[in-house]
Structure 1
Amino acid sequence: MLLKDFYEVQLIDKVSDTKYFATIILNEKHEVFKGHFPGNPVTPGVCMMQIIKELTQEVTGFSLQLKSSNNVKFMALINPEETPELRLELEILPNEDEVKVKNTTSFGETVALKLSNTYKKI
């Protein structure tokens, strides 16, 4: 975990050969939220991208480096005080040298993030 105590993984559930659901809980008291933004905490997009990478590494067992991101859409602000529990849907497609991931992150009925990432195995 790049940011110590930033989030806790509650569950990773494999639903098919390529599809996983993960539930995480954001730590609303983490230092990052004191500066992003004081009095109105918002989860940084780069932190969400790191969480997706870390979950993908956990599922695949590979160390990964981001190669490219496509169709990145931040659709709703994630305030950890109001909605600390997030559900991530991951479609993970590994091949010989890379791992492709399609992600949808949501809380309740709200979709907060959609993206497609390609990682290089390192």
Structure 2
Amino acid sequence: MLLKDFYKLKSLDKTAEGKYTACITINAAHDVFKGHFPGNPVTPGVCMMQIIKELTQQVANTPLTMKSASNVKFMALINPEVTPELKLELEIAGLDGEEIKVKNTTCFNDTVALKLSCNYSRN
């Protein structure tokens, strides 16, 4: 985990071939929220992208490097004091190859907060 204690993985389940669902809880008391933003915490988009990478690494059981990201859409602010529980749906292709492709949708309650597609390579 790049940011120690930033989030807690509650579950990571394979739901179908190449599809996974993760449930996490963001730590609203983490130091990153002291600066992003004081009195109105917002989960940084780059932190969400790192979480997706870390979950993909766990599924692939190998370190990864992001090669590209496309269709990155931050659709709602994630305030960890209001909605710390997030559900991430990952569609992962290429686990047997050198390039791994991921499509992600991140939600809290019924709200889509983030959608993105990433390409990773094995380190």
1:62, 1:100 → 2: CA distance? 14
Q: CA deviation at 1:43?
A: 0.2
2:17, 2:122 → 1: CA distance? 19
Q: CA deviation at 1:65?
A: 0.3
Letter in 2 for 1:110: T
Report how many aligned residue pairs link the two structures.
Answer: 122
**Structure 2 residue aligned with 1:100:** 101
**Structure 1 residue aligned with 2:52:** 52
**Structure 1 residue aligned with 2:20:** 20
**Structure 2 residue aligned with 1:7:** 7
1:96, 1:77 → 2: CA distance? 34
**Structure 1 residue aligned with 2:78:** 78
2:92, 2:8 → 1: CA distance? 21
Q: CA deviation at 1:97?
A: 1.1
**Structure 2 residue aligned with 1:61:** 61
Letter in 2 for 1:35: G
So what's the TM-score if we normalise by structure 2?
0.98
| Percent identical | 66
Residue ranges of structure 2 left out of the alignment (5+ in a row): none
Q: CA deviation at 1:16?
A: 1.0
Runs of 4+ with >6 A deviation: none
Q: CA deviation at 1:119?
A: 0.3
**Structure 2 residue aligned with 1:30:** 30
So what's the TM-score if we normalise by structure 1?
0.98
Q: CA deviation at 1:96?
A: 1.7
Q: CA deviation at 1:74?
A: 0.1
